[in-house]
Amino acid sequence: MSVDAATVKRIGRLARIRIEEGEVAKYQDELNAILGFVEQLGEVDVTGVEPMTSVTPMKLRQREDKVTDGGYPDKIVANAPLTEDNFFMVPKVVE
């Protein structure tokens, strides 16, 4: 499988990364080089093989469903580029 210019632009949109017109060809070449490299996985017989979900034989731990942390919104927003009253500020999204 290989990607065309339109697909590169679509991936950019999905990934929320602006791809300028002049960058498309280079990305297309690089992505196709990588996809060409991973293509060989298709030759592996995986009949009856389960996809890996955990690399160590463990069950995810569970804990009691209660709040154990928090109560410091000022710390949460301390590194934000723009805040007001401990809210993150973004451009208007709802008209």
Partner 1 sequence: MTDLTRLTLAAARAGLKAKEFTSSELTGAYLNAIEVGNPKLNAYVAVTGEQAQAQAKASDAKLAAGQGGPLEGIPLGIKDLFGTKGVHTQAASHILNDFKPEYESSVTSNLWRDGAVMLGKLNMDEFAMGSSNETSYYGPVINPWRANNSNAQLVPGGSSGGSAAAVSAWLCAAATATDTGGSIRQPAALTGTVGIKPTYGRCSRWGVVAFASSLDQAGPIARTVEDAAIMMTSMSGFDPKDSTSVDLAVPDFAAAVERGVKGLVIGIPREYRMDGMPAEIEALWQQGIAWLKAEGATVRDISLPHTKYALPAYYIVAPAEASSNLARYDGVKYGLRDTGKDITDLYELTRAHGFGREVKRRIMIGTYVLSAGYYDAYYVQAQKVRTLIKRDFEIVFNDGVDAILTPATPSAAFGIGDEDMKADPVKMYLNDVFTVTVNMAGLPGIAVPAGKDGAGLPLGLQLIGKPFDEETLFAAGRVIERSANIDFSPDKWW
Q: Nearest approach, Cβ of 4 to partner 1 (angstroms)?
A: 12
The residue among 22, 36, 27 whose CA lies nearest residue 7 is 27
Amino acid at 44: V
Residue entry with tokens 């280079």: 26
Rg (alpha carbons) of the chain, rounded to whole number: 22
Touching partner 1, residues 45-84 (CB under 8 A): 46, 49-56, 58, 60-61, 63, 72, 75-76, 78-82
Question: Any idea what DSSP says for residue 51?
Answer: P
Footprint of partner 1 on this chain (CB under 8 A)? 1, 3, 7-8, 11-20, 27, 30-31, 33-35, 37-42, 44, 46, 49-56, 58, 60-61, 63, 72, 75-76, 78-82, 88, 90-93
